[in-house]
A and B are shown apart, each in its own frame.
Chain A
Amino acid sequence: MKIIVFAENQDGNFKKSTFEAISYAAQIAANNNGNVTAVSIGNVSAEKLAELGKYGADHIVSYAQEVFHSFSGEAYSKAISHAAKSLNANLIIVSNTYSGKTIAPRTAAQLSAGIVSGVISFPDMQNGFKVRRTVFSGKAYADVNVNTSIKVLAITPNSFAILDQPKTAAIEIMDAGIGSENVHTKSTEIARTSGKVVLTEAELVISAGRGMKGPENWHMIENLADILGAATACSKPVSDMHWRPHSEHVGQTGITIKPNLYIAIGISGAIQHLAGVSSSKVIVAINKDPEAPFFKAADYGIVGDAFEILPLITEAAKAFKSQQA
């Protein structure tokens, strides 16, 4: 089995989700007499490229021509397809990030490949090729058979462990012969909130709802998040009232996340909200209403006033962190 992994970088650094995807692919390869090629697209140093071998890539290819210096679904997907065709790959793994979601379907269409997104399991190849994905924003799972000879899987970030399985991987520079005429979009501005943990990739998330009473109290949430190295999130009413940006809204009509720890403060736990967070490994609910539905979905709960509880937790977190340091 020949596996290709899209090794996504941001400003020349590979993302955590890239290492997850390579670790995932390396485990499939190990069990199926296969090999893994990591495909880097864009400007990445040789030193950074070599990092990919650490997680089990047998071979690294890099497309670094000028056309790839800024992201475009059109050009990037063609590079992946070019690599897949040159190497006769039959499995293509992409992490289901914003960029991954743009590239994966285009690559699938170029290769007439069956595609499954939101994948949370290793493929079961005993009888065909079956993977598990989340559906209904995490309210359920679906098992899906892929019937094409070439397959594309977009795996959910934070679902698979990063494993050290070092290989000495040769780095090869490739050129897909793609010109600027293949790119129609032109990026005019990129604004990233610097120094903040990205919500979709965060392992720890501190989330709050209407119980916080107003945007002026959010410094308490941000403070706790900073201490723990967590991302901040919010409920739908909070983003609807513009207390917090829409990009922080988690739930069925917001984003679905899968952190190791989700702390919900002053969020009652409507079914739509739970859908977006129920795949979290550990859930903590803090709410003054003991009947709040969140307590049914939580591992730990504190019934009480957020304004009384938050300072206590924040102090404990501070003490814990200084002890760790």
Chain B
Amino acid sequence: MKILVCMSNVPDTTTKVTFAENNTKFNTQGVQFIINPYDELALTRALEITEKQTGTVTVVNVGLADTEPNVRKALAIGAHEAVRINAEPLDAYFVAEQIAHYAKGENFDVILTGRESIDYNGGMVAGLLGEMLNMPSINVITAIEIENGIAHLERDIDGGREKLDCPIPFVASAQKELTEPRIPNMRGIMAARTKPLKVLEPTGSQANTLTTSFELPAPKGACKLIDVADAGKLIELLHTEAKVI
């Protein structure tokens, strides 16, 4: 079983988001970057699958050299090898094209992504990759077992859950319940130093969207406090003043 896990490098969830250069760039100053949490779940599940059967897990990241500490962390968690495609991840389409170009010759059985990156929240890479590689794509999976070349999956749908089967190869995106993340141990950290981390140059494609500026939401006005004894008045205020019920 050959599994590819796509990982992005994202600001830690506690980050206070600010922008620089006249609101055109995310301000990375003092920001701690982590492996996107959903990608980390995908990685852990991939490792569980290859430990149960045989196989290898490759992680791929589209990013510049500053993402390498987190790529190494993925190796420390247990990935067998890593590939970094040396480019700024311009948009989802661009990232998917880079990964598809790399994955085409590699015959992966399963390609996993996170359900979305927690910075840009696009959730588009799994579907784009599926189409570019001519594979089915299954979004927001909460369970996956693979036997005899068929995956049994569960995914979130609006208002419920669906169970489905899919033969390999396919692309799937990881949702929260898939598994629990794994913390790298000392042995893993030592081993990661000598595991292969290949750096590839990007293909010549261009991004077809461009983020021109960012803006922070306007701060909320003061909170109107209601006394506990008058708590029932809330309903009236929501009807007559806020007009939401």
Asked if A108 lies at the interface with its beta carbon under 8 angstroms from chain B, I say yes
Asked if A161 lies at the interface with its beta carbon under 8 angstroms from chain B, I say no
Asked if A43 lies at the interface with its beta carbon under 8 angstroms from chain B, I say no
Of all chain B residues, which has the CB nearest A295? B223
Of all chain B residues, which has the CB nearest A305? B228
Q: Are B165 and A185 in contact (CB under 8 A)?
A: yes
From known contacts A189-B163, A254-B176, infer whether A184 and B170 are also in contact, taking CB-CB under 8 Å: yes
Q: B-facing mask of A102-127, CB < 8 A → 1, else 0?
A: 11111011101111111000000000
How many A-B contacts are there with CB distance less than 8 Å? 275
Q: With A and B bound together, what is the CA distance between A141 and B202 in angstroms?
A: 28
> For A145, what are the chain B residues with a Cβ–Cβ distance below 8 Å?
209-212
Of all chain A residues, which has the CB nearest B19? A140
Asked if B132 lies at the interface with its beta carbon under 8 angstroms from chain A, I say yes
Asked if A72 lies at the interface with its beta carbon under 8 angstroms from chain B, I say yes
From known contacts A304-B228, A308-B228, infer whether A316 and B233 are also in contact, taking CB-CB under 8 Å: yes
Of all chain B residues, which has the CB nearest A249? B176
Query: CB < 8 Å: which of A104, A143, A301 contacts B213?
Result: A143
Q: With A and B bound together, what is the CA distance between A102 and B156 in angstroms?
A: 12
A145 shortest CB reach to chain B, Å: 5
> For B225, what are the chain A residues with a Cβ–Cβ distance below 8 Å?
295, 300-303
Q: Are A99 and B232 in contact (CB under 8 A)?
A: no
Q: Are B128 and A261 in contact (CB under 8 A)?
A: no
B108 shortest CB reach to chain A, Å: 15
From known contacts A142-B213, A312-B232, infer whether A106 and B165 are also in contact, taking CB-CB under 8 Å: no
> For B215, what are the chain A residues with a Cβ–Cβ distance below 8 Å?
140-143
In the complex, chain A residues 291-314 whose Cβ is within 8 Å of any chain B Cβ: 295-305, 308-309, 312-313
What bracket does the count of chain B residues touching chain A fall in? 35 or more
> For A317, what are the chain B residues with a Cβ–Cβ distance below 8 Å?
235
Q: Are B217 and A109 in contact (CB under 8 A)?
A: no
A254 shortest CB reach to chain B, Å: 7
Of all chain A residues, which has the CB nearest B18? A140
Asked if A165 lies at the interface with its beta carbon under 8 angstroms from chain B, I say no
In the complex, chain A residues 226-268 whose Cβ is within 8 Å of any chain B Cβ: 228, 246-247, 249, 252-254, 256, 260-261
* Other A-B pairs, 18, CB within 8 Å; known A105-B96, A106-B131: A10-B159, A74-B136, A77-B131, A98-B157, A101-B139, A105-B137, A108-B93, A115-B128, A136-B15, A136-B121, A140-B216, A146-B209, A196-B159, A200-B158, A295-B223, A296-B220, A300-B234, A319-B235
Q: What are 19 contact pairs spanning A and B, CB under 8 A?
A: A98-B158, A101-B124, A109-B128, A115-B93, A136-B119, A139-B216, A140-B216, A142-B211, A146-B209, A193-B159, A246-B177, A261-B244, A271-B16, A281-B244, A299-B224, A300-B242, A301-B223, A303-B225, A313-B232
B residues neighboring A (CB under 8 Å): 11, 13-17, 19, 37-38, 91-93, 96, 118-128, 130-132, 135-140, 142, 155-167, 170, 175-177, 208-217, 220-221, 223-228, 231-239, 242, 244-245
A residues neighboring B (CB under 8 Å): 10, 15, 72-74, 77, 97-99, 101-106, 108-110, 112-118, 130, 134-148, 154, 183-193, 196, 198-201, 203-204, 228, 246-247, 249, 252-254, 256, 260-261, 271-272, 278-279, 281-285, 295-305, 308-309, 312-313, 315-317, 319-320
